[in-house]
Amino acid sequence: MRDVHVDEIRGAVVRLCQEATVLLPNDVLQALKRARQREESPLARQVLDQILRNAELAADEMLPLCQDTGTTVIFLEIGQDVHVVGGGLTEALREGVGSGYREGFLRASIVDKPFTERINTGDNTPPVVHTEIVPGDRIRIQLMPKGSGCENMSRFTTLLPGAGKDGIAEFVVRTVEEAGGNPCPPIIVGVGVGGTAEYAMYLAKKAITRRVGEPHPDAETAAFEADLLEWVNALGIGPQAVGGRTTALAVHVETYPTHIAALPVAVNLQCHSARLKEAVL
């Protein structure tokens, strides 16, 4: 067993909040630059230029990339040989997010009592946390400030078990088409196939944590991702929906075995400000 003190976890979360909201990951930046080179629509190029200048300015001046500093989504991998000491883990994550957002001048966007008073919690807490227990004695924290413009465009369906790739493709392309400019294209399309209803959506969200454009290790899934990307970009929606070749930077598909009666499909969209930062303790 290795002891990890909650102070260390809290400190890491504070740092991740402040860095993730300001620094666009390099893989996203490179994907945007490649898209700018390929893009043919003059208005789309103008939009991509603004997005690239924004990333540069945000990093130079340590300004948030986007005013929507998101719901703080945390993917936590805890090694089974780790012993968290000095306090509660959930509390440490919550305090880390609260301090990170307050001290980082980040927007508090979370409201409690969601269907009545909608009272702002004041410091963007609580985060949404997904925990996995893995082998080893480390803790890996991935922090994703997830904007709501794109999150609102998430969709889920249950297809007939035999619907296959065609059924999934139809649903994914329709979801992107209906979302239009709302999720801030060029987007990253996360697709979760299999498991159960809630697990499919978890997979879709997990899919957008993959490095942009890195193909799935399974060749058949990777080929499907490439087809989906082509079909999504054939829509012509383009950056901010002004029309163009670049509607999505990537489509990532994650799968899990499912029931004989089922084919659940979830789509989770990520905006071009695809913020993600990780720490390993």
Partner 1 sequence: MAELEVRLPLSDEVIEQLRAGDSVQLSGTVYAARDAAHKRMAEAIARGEAVPVDVRGQVIYYVGPTPARPGAVIGSAGPTTAMRLDPYTIALLEAGLKGAIGKGGRGPKVREALVRHRAVYFLAVGGAGALLSKHIRSVELVAYEDLGTEAVRRLELDGFPVIVCNDVHGGDLLEQGKAQWQRAAG
Task: Please state, in angstroms and as integers, the Cα–Cα distance from residue 221 to each residue in 18, 186, 233, following that order.
Answer: 35, 22, 18
CA distance 157 to 146: 22
Amino acid of residue 54: N
Among 86, 181, 213, 215, binds partner 1 (CB under 8 A): 181
The structure tokens listed for 185 are 């294209």
124 touches partner 1 (CB under 8 A): no
| C-beta separation of 132 from 240 below 8 A | no
Region near partner 1 per CB under 8 A, out of 2-10, 210-218, 234-242, 252-260: 234-242
Asked whether the bond before 145 is cis by omega within 30 degrees of 0, the reply is no
165: contact with partner 1 by CB under 8 A: no
Q: State the Cα–Cα distance between residues 152 and 60, nearest whole angstrom.
A: 30
DSSP string over 233-244: HTT---GGGSS-
Among 3, 38, 105, 160, binds partner 1 (CB under 8 A): 105
Q: Which stretch binds partner 1 (CB under 8 A): 86-94, 103-111, 191-199, 254-262?
A: 103-111
Min dist CB 28 to partner 1, Å, is: 11
Closest distance between partner 1 and the C-beta of residue 208, in Å? 15
User: Quick one: 127 or 238, whose CB is closer to partner 1?
Assistant: 238
Examine residue 9 and tell whether it contacts partner 1 (CB under 8 A): no
Q: Is 51 in the site for partner 1 (CB under 8 A)?
A: yes
Q: Which of 128, 127, 99, 89 is nearest to 8 (CA)?
A: 89
Nearest distance from residue 88's CB to partner 1, in Å? 28
Separation CA 91–CA 126 (nearest Å): 9
Contacting partner 1 within 257-276 (CB under 8 A): 271-273
Q: Tell me the number of residues near partner 1 by CB under 8 A.
A: 51
Tell me the pairing of strands 128-134 and 264-270: unpaired
Q: Token pair 């695809």 is at which residue?
A: 274
Question: Contact, 251 vs 172, CB < 8 A?
Answer: yes
Angle formed by the axes of helices 42-61 and 26-38, nearest 10°: 150
User: What are the structure tokens assigned to 88, written together?
Assistant: 């509660």
Q: Which two tokens stand for residue 218?
A: 């399974």
Contact between 80 and partner 1 (CB under 8 A)?
no
242 makes contact with partner 1 (CB under 8 A): yes
For partner 1, which stretch binds (CB under 8 A), given 11-19, 217-225, 229-237, 260-268? 229-237
Among 30, 34, 84, 108, binds partner 1 (CB under 8 A): 108
155 binds partner 1 (CB under 8 A): no
Please list, in sequence order, all residues whose beta carbon lies within 8 angstroms of the beta carbon of residue 19, skipping any fewer than 6 positions away.
277
Q: Which of 26, 67, 90, 131 binds partner 1 (CB under 8 A)?
A: 67
Binding site for partner 1 (CB under 8 A): 41-44, 46-47, 50-51, 53-54, 57-58, 61, 63-69, 105-109, 118, 120, 147, 149, 152, 173, 180-182, 184, 230-231, 234-238, 240-245, 271-273
